[in-house]
């Protein structure tokens, strides 16, 4: 008679893996069993925000591995805003957990609810922040003033020019106004006024000379027209 002896393969344990150089804190081991039989292959997942493809193989009571460990998920470029710049204010790259902050260009203001984006497990959160040009208030002008430009919806950089509608009037105030980076007008709203000429005083004119001569001679005052 012949007797047969069956040798059970050595098991591998989760504790072995957790204490081995193969373990990384970014692994998600919550779904792993406490013990695996020899020859068993086990897929190890990653924590939220990390990606990788890692396999454990139980070989004679020891863990062997294949694949790559878990690393931070990339989010790619956060997106450019037309009138703003952004900078990385948290993290070292565009990966899970990082945050970028957007700053509007000179003469523009943030109209979005937030000025930042965060790299999450599913990509960048929110939308790309939006900056719009500073808007200047409406300019009230006299009805006699002609306006060249938009005085009701002017934004940063806009210039309006003024002149009088009538050639018999002259402009008092600024001939042009500029909407600055703070949303304020540079210049003074003008008005148009009538050109009025007063009679000049002429020294030693004929009438004055005759009047003085008559007064000296005691003669009655006569006008030049008499």
CATH classification at residue 27: 2.10.70
Instruction: State if pTM tops 0.75.
Output: no
Residues 18-46: pLDDT tens digits?
999 999 999 999 999 999 999 999 999 99
**pLDDT confidence of residue 197:** 77
Is 98 inside any structural domain?
yes
- Domain count along the chain: 3
Is 216 inside any structural domain?
no
Residues 180-226: pLDDT tens digits?
999 999 999 999 998 877 777 776 655 555 555 556 665 444 443 43
Is 53 inside any structural domain?
yes
Percentage, residues of the chain above pLDDT 70: 85
**pLDDT confidence of residue 195:** 82
Q: Could you tell me the CATH number of the domain that includes residue 121?
A: 2.10.70.10
Question: Counting beta carbons within 10 angstroms of the beta carbon of residue 160, is it exposed (0 to 12), middle (13 to 18) or buried (19 or more)?
Answer: buried
Which is it for the CA torsion 46, 48, 50, 52, positive or negative? positive
Same domain, 151 and 129: no
- Residue the block writes with tokens 């006569």: 222
- Residue the block writes with tokens 């409406």: 138
Contacts of 146 (CB under 8 A, 6+ apart): 162, 163, 164, 165
**pLDDT confidence of residue 2:** 41
Is 163 inside any structural domain?
yes
Same domain, 23 and 68: yes
CA distance 57 to 63: 6
Is 209 inside any structural domain?
no
Assign 136 a pLDDT band (cuts: 50, 70, 90).
very high
Is 223 inside any structural domain?
no
Write the CA distances from 226 to 39, 104, 214, integer angstroms.
Answer: 140, 82, 14
CA distance 139 to 137: 6
Is 2 inside any structural domain?
no
**pLDDT confidence of residue 196:** 79
Structure tokens at 82: 């037309």
Assign 84 a pLDDT band (cuts: 50, 70, 90).
very high
Percentage, residues of the chain above pLDDT 90: 79
Mean pLDDT over residues 169-185, rounded? 94
* Cβ–Cβ under 8 Å, residues 49 and 96: yes
Same domain, 164 and 123: no
* Cβ–Cβ under 8 Å, residues 171 and 162: yes
* 72, 104, 120 - which closes a domain: 72
CA distance 84 to 225: 80
Same domain, 149 and 127: no
Same domain, 123 and 157: no
Is 220 inside any structural domain?
no
6: pLDDT strictly greater than 90: no
Name the residue range of residue 46's domain: 12-72
| Phi/psi of residue 213, nearest 5 degrees | -65, -40
Same domain, 52 and 22: yes
Same domain, 52 and 88: no
Mean pLDDT over residues 119-126, rounded? 96
**pLDDT confidence of residue 221:** 46
């Amino acid at each position: 008679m012949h007797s047969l002896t069956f040798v059970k393969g050595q098991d591998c344990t989760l504790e072995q893996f957790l204490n081995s150089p193969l373990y990384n804190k970014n692994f998600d081991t919550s779904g792993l069993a406490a013990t695996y039989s020899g020859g068993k292959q086990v897929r190890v997942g990653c924590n939220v925000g990390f990606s990788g493809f890692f396999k454990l193989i139980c070989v004679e009571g020891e863990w062997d591995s294949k694949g790559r460990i878990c690393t931070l998920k990339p989010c790619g470029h956060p997106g450019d805003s037309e009138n703003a710049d952004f900078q990385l204010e948290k993290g070292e790259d565009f990966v899970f957990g990082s945050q970028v902050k957007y700053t509007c260009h000179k003469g523009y203001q943030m109209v979005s609810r937030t000025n930042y984006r965060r790299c999450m497990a599913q990509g960048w959160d929110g939308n790309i922040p939006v900056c719009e040009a500073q808007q200047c208030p409406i300019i009230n002008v006299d009805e006699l003033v002609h306006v060249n430009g938009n005085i009701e919806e002017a934004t940063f950089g806009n210039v309006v020019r003024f002149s009088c509608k009538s050639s018999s009037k002259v402009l008092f105030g600024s001939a042009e106004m500029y909407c600055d980076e703070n949303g304020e007008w540079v210049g003074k709203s003008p008005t148009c006024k009538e050109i009025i000429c007063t009679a000049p005083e002429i020294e030693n004119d004929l009438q004055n000379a005759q009047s003085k001569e008559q007064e000296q001679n005691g003669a009655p005052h006569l006008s030049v027209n008499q």
